[in-house]
Structures are given as structure tokens and as C-alpha cells.
């Protein structure tokens, strides 16, 4: 009898623990991002006094400047306070997908650029905030222009809080050491940039810094940081355009030429290094030119001060394709949206409107983060924080010729994946240009026909 | 005539006790395996996107799957991986086990060293191997030292990338199967070898006439496990290549992950899962039918 009771007790205990596990899992469905960290709130329970708690989902790269933003909001808001959940940026899309599938009541969702903004709207993740904006008398289209209207087709699904503008960083010390002259007052064309890189590479070889001399510490003239669709976006071409192949062919040819003449790190090696490629080559002072976005400025300033980056960097405009206007750089906004699973959409909207306008923008700008909202005060705060010695950055971020990095459409994620697959195939030498372009066209057509 | 089994009160109590002990495990199996599998089976016939309510679409996902180039590419890669990694692991594992079974000096250290990769997490192991296999990594530097001017681009050449992942898998998993073979070898009665030696049998004769027949049940078990595991490969692919370049190292499980979590096509991904299950089941059934011809129990 004793044995039977013991067995019953053990079975009940273990069954309860299983149920407990399930409950814990569902409670921390919100914590799917738990690999990351949770911070920024001051309240310890569901509510802090009378305030409503807002749950935020984002990725760790932004934590350093969003936590202060949240603190500032929490200090001034009488209705709500916000707490951040962060995970690694590489995992973020999967975390959001899982959280939405689980019905996690996220109140504010960070949206990492135009493709996910389009994707989340397509899937119905995001609530239409139009009624709240109308009630508040806020005109987002007038405030942000194309970066807002291009991403919000039939309603208000998100407001842009941060901009990333792609530009060209250069290693001032290396160029001076090699005796290379360069221009920053206007954009190079890509052809001019290629010629400049050939000159730099010849000087690198002459200085004994080339790959044959020292494979592990050699320099390249350039490193392509942005590997997706630079010139395609600069020309304003969408990947579903009938004549997109011409622009695709132009960009892949340019990329291939840059690696074929040994001026740039080969694409295959860039694949091996992944997102660390900038750290491996640019931060170590091993390339003269590096395409990256404005988010690098705060990091490079801090690394220069600490000595981790052993050279002085400068900024120049992104080269442009032949026939395009000077100072055509690429911009990619990040958005805050309110998922349909939110239990506090009204308060979430209040936070978003605050964070994406003067109050929040000033806070971001003071931390060298480029806000999407522009005003004299915000631009002044950003210019001061980024500690630039010339006005090139100001000209780049305020250029009227700037274009969006991605022109999205339904099915964009799959088309983009097919595009990258064929680009990889060509640039790694596994297919000819014509084969790769033809494969891309047929895959794209097949995806879009569904 | 079927005789109804009657249990004494004591036997009945013990039977109930046994079931109660099984209950927690069964609940876990039910909640975490059986129900999700059944749910996955149902999802394969829907357009579920992970968020909106699923709509029944009949066999549309399966029709689309059999017209999908990525399915055949992934299947081809999986078959290559299965054939090469299973052959490599089985042959090398068995040879190492036979070698270590001789009781040579230092065999304990060898055993530990060879088993060590199995103790490492696949992600960490994949990360280290990816660094070793980079174009300017230690392996290619060594090959250059040997005079090879253009060593393979292990991770970025579509011709080489599956071989690289397969090699990594062989290095990681051989130690585990070696230990299983070693257990099988140690169960072979030593007097059989003594009798064979008295009859003048050499090492090869002893292996083919005694060792091999006696360990075929172990070998069969290992082969079944290894083939099933080969179809489940995901971690090494995810860590070393993300299925690239140009999908050249995509395998079925990685494709399932891509369809579900990158494209939000959970219904379609479930159809992939069902087809993968059918393939593994078919191969396992063929193995069980074929075993009668060569496995000695």
C-alpha cells in the first residue's frame, strides 16, 4: 500500500511540475527574447502605482540608447512606463514570429527596417494607429515625408524613430600614409571610386602591405559593408520591376569587378567572416574605404577614444551610379509599431508618438543616434554628439537625393532571399552572371506568381 | 481458446503502481511530442502563417512541395550527407573500436580523446570548425605550406561545402559510435578467438568469421540511429554556412526552419516535416527488412 501511495505522490508531483513548466513557458512567452536581457523599467510589478506597464521587444544592439530613452519616458509619463526585452539581432525575426504565434501581449515592437515593416503588415501583426493619431492631431506624413508614407500603405502601422543612412567611411591615416588624394565635397561615381581603389591598391602593394606579402595583416583598398542592393536602390529600382534585371546585372558586375581586381575583400571571405567583417578589417585599419551606416559613428568614436581603433576615420558620400545625382545616399528607417496583441494600444501609441518626435529624438540624438524626426534642435544635438570635424555628415543625412534601401512589395522576403542566393552563387564563382540573373528572374517570377 | 489472465490483488496493485510510475513520462510524451506531432500533421494541410487562423488548403502544400526546386536540392544534399557521413562514421568508428579493443597501451586516452568532440555542443564545435576551414584558416595555411597553391574554399565553394559539413560531422560523431562498437566487441566471447587461434585462423579470418558476425546486431543498431540522425542535421549547417552559399548546403530540416521562421509558412513547413518523416520511415523499414539477410542474432 505504501508503495502505491508513494507512486501516486511521485506521479502527482511530476505531473504538477510538468504543468508548472508549461505555465512558466507561457508566462515567459514574452521572454522568448530571454536570451537577451530585460531592463530599463523602474517598476517591479505589473503596475507601478497607477501606471500601465508597456512591454517592449527589441534587439540588443539598440539597448544602450533605448534604455535611457525609456527611462526618460518613464520619468515624464503619468500614465505608463515601458520595460525592454532584448534579444540578439540575428534571432530577432524568429523571436517576433514565435511571440506573435504565442499571442504574447507586446505593446511596442521595434521593427528593424523596411523589409520587416512590410512583412509584419502583410501578416497582420501590427495595429492601425490612425484613430490614436487623429485623436492626438498628429500628421505623420507631414512630419516624416517619404520614409513614413513609403512604409505605411493603408493606415498608420508604425512611426520611424531612427534612421540609418549608408555612407562611406575611410581610414584617413592610411590614405595619408599612402599619399592618396580624395574628395569629400561631392560623391564619386562608382567608376571613379573603382579607379581610386586601384590607385590605393597599387600604393598598398608598393608599401609592402599587400596580401602576397602578409596574408594575415594585408590591406585592401575597400570593403563592401553593404552587400544587398546598393546601386539598385540608388537607381530607385524595385526587385519586382520588369526591368530590374538591368539594375541587378549592373550591381553584381560592379561587386565582381571590385573583387576581381583585388582591391576589395573577396565576397567569399566576407561570407566566412559574416557580420564581424567590419571588426576584422576596418577596425584593425586594414582597409581604406568601408561602406557602413551612420550607426557606426558612435561606436567608432568610442573605439578611437579608447585606442581600440588605431587610426582616425573620416566620412564621405556614397559613390553613385553613372547618371544619378550627387549625394544620393541610402536611408533605412527603423520603426516602432503596436502589435495587435497589445493590451494597452492607447498608452503604447502615446509612447511611440513621444519617442518619434522632439522629446525622444533629442534623447537619441544626444547619444549619436540619428533620429528619423528632424528639427533644428535635434539636428544640432546630433551634430554635437557625433563630433565631426567637417560638415560632410550633415550634408549626407540632409540630402534631398537620398533614397530608401528597400522598396518592398508583397512576397519581398522570399524574392530578396532568391536574389541573395543568386548573388552569392555568382560572386563566389559558382555561376556566370547570365546564369545567376536568369535564375533570379525565374525564381522571382515563380514566387510572385503564387 | 483465449484464456483470460486473472491477477491477484497484489499483482493488480503492482500493475497500477507500474502505470503510475509511467504516467509522468507519458504525460510529457503526450504534451511535448504526440500532440505537437499530431498538430504538425494537421497544419500540413493548412496555410497557417504562425499568426492568422489556419485555413484548410487540402494537399496544396504537398503539390507545391513536389514542384519546389529547394525540396529536391535539400533532399539531394541530405542523401549525400547521409551516404558519406554514415559510411565514414561506421567504417572509421568500427576500425577504431577494433584497434582500441586490442588493449594497446594508452587506449584509454585515445578513447577519451576520440569521444571528446561528442561532449562538445554542436554549435561550439561547428563554430570552431568553421574558423579552421576559412579560406585563410589553419587548414588552408597548412595545405599552402605543403605546396598547394589554391586550396579548396571549404565553406564558400558549392562543390565543397557539403563535404566540409560532412567531414565535420564525421569528426564529431565517430567517437560516440566507436564506444557503441567497443561495447559490442567486448561482448564477444574470448574463447571463440582462442578456439580459432588453435585452428590456425589469422587476424582477418577471426574478424570476418567471428567479430563481424557477432557484432552485426550492434552495427545494425548504430546504422539505423546514424541514418536517422543524418536526416536531422541542422545545427552544423546553421552554424557553419546558414545553408549557403547559394543554398548549396541546405538540408531538409534547415529548409523547414527557413520556410517556417524566415517566411512564416508554417503549414508548408509542416508538409516538409511530414515528407521528411515518410522518407526516414521508408529508409528505416527497408533497413529492417534487409537486416534479415546479414544480421546475426
- pLDDT, one tens digit per residue, over B107-121 is 888 888 889 998 999
Comparing alpha-carbon positions, the chain A residue that sits nearest to B53 is A101
Interchain pair A93, B262: CB under 8 A: yes
Q: Is residue B182 part of a domain?
A: yes
Query: Average pLDDT of chain B?
Result: 92
* Interface test mutation site (partner B, options A218, A271, A449, max chain B beta carbons within 10 A): A271
Q: Is residue B174 part of a domain?
A: yes
Collect contacts of B5-10 with beta carbons under 8 A, ≥24 apart: none
ipTM: 0.78
> Cα separation of B216 and A187, whole Å?
72
Comparing alpha-carbon positions, the chain B residue that sits nearest to A415 is B263
Please name which of A179, A144, A129, A182 lies closest in space to residue A317, comparing C-alpha atoms: A182
3-state SS class at A220: strand
Which residue did the predictor score with more confidence, B104 or A285? A285
Q: Is residue B23 part of a domain?
A: no
Smallest Cβ–Cβ distance between A269 and the set B23, B135, B159 belongs to B135
* Number of neighbouring beta carbons within 10 Å of residue A163: 23
Report pLDDT for A3: 55
Q: For residue B156, which residues of chain A lie inside 8 Å, CB to CB?
A: 268-269, 271-272, 428
Interchain pair A269, B157: CB under 8 A: no
> Cα separation of B130 and B137, whole Å?
9
> Cα separation of A88 and A93, whole Å?
10
Query: Grid coordinates in use for B36?
Result: 505537437
> Cα separation of A300 and A303, whole Å?
5
Q: For residue B31, which residues of chain A lie inside 8 Å, CB to CB?
A: 18, 22
Number of independent structural domains in chain B: 1
Q: Are B91 and B170 in contact (CB under 8 A)?
A: no
Comparing alpha-carbon positions, the chain A residue that sits nearest to B144 is A215
Is the bond into B245 cis (omega within 30 degrees of 0)?
yes
* Number of neighbouring beta carbons within 10 Å of residue B129: 24
Interchain pair B24, A15: CB under 8 A: yes
User: Largest Cα–Cα distance of chain A, in whole Å?
Assistant: 93
pLDDT at B186 over 60: yes
Comparing alpha-carbon positions, the chain A residue that sits nearest to B129 is A272
Length of chain A: 450
Summarize the confidence of residues B18-32 as an average pLDDT. 94
- Dihedral over Cα of B109, B110, B112, B116: its sign: positive
3-state SS class at B198: helix
Report pLDDT for A227: 60
* Number of neighbouring beta carbons within 10 Å of residue A186: 11
pLDDT at B229 over 80: yes
Find all residues with CB under 8 Å of B15, minimum gap 6, and list them.
B7
* Number of neighbouring beta carbons within 10 Å of residue A132: 20
Q: Is residue B42 part of a domain?
A: no
Residue A326 touches partner B, C-beta closer than 8 Å = no
Domain residues for B237? 69-293
- Please report the DSSP string for B22-86 in residue order: HHHHHHHHIIIIIHHHHHHHHHTTB---SSSPP-B-TTHHHHHHHT-HHHHHHHHHHHHHHHHHH
Residue A123 touches partner B, C-beta closer than 8 Å = yes
Residue pointed to by grid coordinates 505589473: A46
> Cα separation of A382 and A450, whole Å?
45
What CATH number is associated with residue B117? 1.10.3720.10
> Cα separation of A363 and A385, whole Å?
11
**Domains identified in chain A and CATH numbers:** 32-163+332-386 (3.40.190.10), 165-237+245-327+395-405 (3.40.190.10)
> Cα separation of B180 and B76, whole Å?
29
Report pLDDT for A396: 95
C-alpha of A96 from chain center: 16
Report pLDDT for A9: 57
Angle subtended at Cα B274 by Cα B55 and Cα B245, rounded to the nearest 5 degrees: 100
Q: Is residue B8 part of a domain?
A: no
* Number of neighbouring beta carbons within 10 Å of residue A112: 20
Find all residues with CB under 8 Å of A277, minimum gap 6, and list them.
A223, A225, A265, A270
Interchain pair A18, B50: CB under 8 A: no
Query: Grid coordinates in use for A241?
Result: 520591376
- Dihedral over Cα of A349, A350, A351, A357: its sign: positive
Q: Is residue B28 part of a domain?
A: no
Low-confidence ranges of chain A (pLDDT < 70): 1-49, 215, 225-227
Amino acid at each position: 500500500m505504501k508503495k502505491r501511495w508513494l507512486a501516486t505522490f511521485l506521479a502527482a508531483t511530476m505531473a504538477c511540475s510538468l504543468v508548472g513548466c508549461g505555465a512558466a513557458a507561457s508566462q515567459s512567452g514574452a521572454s522568448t527574447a530571454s536570451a537577451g536581457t530585460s531592463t530599463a523599467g523602474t517598476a517591479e510589478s505589473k503596475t507601478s502605482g497607477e501606471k500601465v506597464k508597456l512591454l517592449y521587444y527589441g534587439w540588443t544592439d539598440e539597448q544602450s540608447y533605448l534604455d535611457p530613452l525609456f527611462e526618460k519616458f518613464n520619468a515624464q509619463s503619468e500614465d505608463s512606463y515601458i520595460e525592454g526585452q532584448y534579444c540578439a539581432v540575428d534571432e530577432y525575426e524568429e523571436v517576433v514570429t514565435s511571440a506573435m504565434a504565442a499571442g504574447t501581449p507586446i505593446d511596442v515592437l521595434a521593427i528593424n527596417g523596411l523589409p520587416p515593416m512590410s512583412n509584419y503588415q502583410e501578416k497582420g501583426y501590427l495595429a492601425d494607429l490612425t484613430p490614436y493619431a487623429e485623436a492626438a492631431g498628429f500628421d505623420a506624413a507631414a512630419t516624416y515625408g517619404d520614409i513614413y508614407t513609403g512604409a505605411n500603405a493603408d493606415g498608420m502601422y508604425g512611426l520611424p524613430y531612427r534612421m540609418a543612412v549608408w555612407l562611406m567611411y575611410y581610414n584617413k591615416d592610411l590614405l595619408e600614409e599612402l599619399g592618396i588624394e580624395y574628395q569629400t565635397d561631392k560623391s564619386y561615381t562608382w567608376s571613379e571610386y573603382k579607379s581610386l581603389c586601384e590607385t590605393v591598391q597599387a600604393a598598398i602593394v608598393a608599401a609592402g602591405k599587400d596580401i602576397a606579402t602578409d596574408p594575415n595583416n594585408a590591406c585592401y583598398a575597400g570593403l563592401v559593408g553593404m552587400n544587398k542592393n546598393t546601386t539598385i536602390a540608388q537607381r530607385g529600382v524595385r526587385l519586382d520591376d520588369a526591368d530590374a534585371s538591368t539594375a541587378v546585372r549592373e550591381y553584381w558586375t560592379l561587386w565582381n569587378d571590385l573583387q576581381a581586381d583585388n582591391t576589395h575583400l573577396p565576397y567569399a571571405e566576407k561570407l566566412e567572416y559574416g557580420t564581424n567583417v567590419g571588426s576584422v578589417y576596418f577596425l584593425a585599419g586594414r582597409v581604406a574605404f568601408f561602406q557602413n551606416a551612420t550607426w557606426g559613428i558612435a561606436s567608432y568614436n568610442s573605439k578611437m577614444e579608447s585606442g581600440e581603433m588605431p587610426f582616425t576615420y573620416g566620412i564621405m558620400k556614397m559613390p553613385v551610379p553613372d547618371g544619378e545625382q550627387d549625394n544620393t545616399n541610402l536611408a533605412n528607417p527603423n520603426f516602432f509599431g503596436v502589435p495587435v496583441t497589445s493590451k494597452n494600444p492607447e498608452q503604447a501609441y502615446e509612447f511611440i508618438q513621444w519617442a518619434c518626435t522632439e522629446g525622444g529624438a533629442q534623447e537619441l540624438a544626444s547619444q549619436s543616434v540619428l533620429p528619423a524626426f528632424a528639427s533644428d534642435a535635434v539636428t544640432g544635438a546630433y551634430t554635437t554628439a557625433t563630433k565631426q570635424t567637417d560638415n560632410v555628415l550633415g550634408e549626407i543625412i540632409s540630402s534631398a537625393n537620398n533614397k530608401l534601401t528597400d522598396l518592398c512589395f508583397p512576397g519581398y522576403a522570399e524574392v530578396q532571399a532568391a536574389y541573395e542566393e543568386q548573388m552569392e552563387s555568382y560572386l563566389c564563382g559558382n555561376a556566370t552572371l547570365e546564369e545567376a540573373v536568369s535564375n533570379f528572374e525565374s525564381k522571382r517570377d515563380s514566387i510572385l506568381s503564387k | 481458446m483465449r484464456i483470460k489472465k486473472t491477477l491477484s490483488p497484489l499483482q493488480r496493485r503492482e500493475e497500477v503502481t507500474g502505470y503510475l510510475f509511467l504516467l509522468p513520462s507519458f504525460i510529457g510524451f503526450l504534451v511535448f511530442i504526440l500532440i505537437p506531432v499530431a498538430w504538425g500533421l494537421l497544419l500540413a494541410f493548412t496555410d497557417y502563417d504562425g499568426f492568422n487562423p489556419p485555413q484548410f488548403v487540402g494537399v496544396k502544400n504537398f503539390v507545391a512541395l513536389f514542384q519546389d526546386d529547394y525540396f529536391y536540392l535539400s533532399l539531394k544534399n541530405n542523401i549525400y550527407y547521409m551516404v558519406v557521413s554514415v559510411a565514414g562514421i561506421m567504417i572509421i568508428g568500427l576500425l577504431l573500436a577494433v584497434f582500441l579493443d586490442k588493449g594497446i597501451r594508452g587506449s584509454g586516452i585515445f578513447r577519451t580523446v576520440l569521444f571528446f568532440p561528442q561532449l562538445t555542443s554542436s554549435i561550439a564545435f561547428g563554430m570552431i570548425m568553421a574558423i579552421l576551414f576559412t579560406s585563410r584558416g589553419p587548414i588552408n595555411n597548412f595545405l599552402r605550406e605543403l605546396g598547394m597553391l589554391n586550396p579548396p574554399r571549404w565553406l564558400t565553394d558549392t562543390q565543397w561545402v557539403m563535404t566540409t559539413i560532412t567531414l565535420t560531422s564525421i569528426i564529431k560523431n565517430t567517437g560516440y559510435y566507436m564506444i557503441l562498437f567497443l561495447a559490442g566487441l567486448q561482448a564477444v566471447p574470448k574463447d571463440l578467438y582462442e578456439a580459432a587461434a588453435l585452428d590456425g585462423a589469422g587476424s582477418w579470418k577471426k574478424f570476418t568469421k567471428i567479430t563481424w558476425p557477432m557484432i552485426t546486431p550492434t552495427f545494425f543498431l548504430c546504422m539505423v540511429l546514424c541514418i536517422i540522425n543524418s536526416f536531422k542535421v541542422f545545427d552544423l549547417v546553421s552554424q557553419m554556412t546558414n545553408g549557403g552559399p547559394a543554398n548549396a548546403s541546405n538540408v531538409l530540416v534547415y529548409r523547414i526552419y527557413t520556410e517556417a521562421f524566415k517566411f512564416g509558412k508554417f503549414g508548408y513547413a509542416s508538409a516538409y516535416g511530414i515528407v521528411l518523416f515518410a522518407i526516414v520511415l521508408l529508409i528505416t523499414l527497408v533497413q529492417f527488412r534487409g537486416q534479415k539477410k546479414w544480421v546475426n542474432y
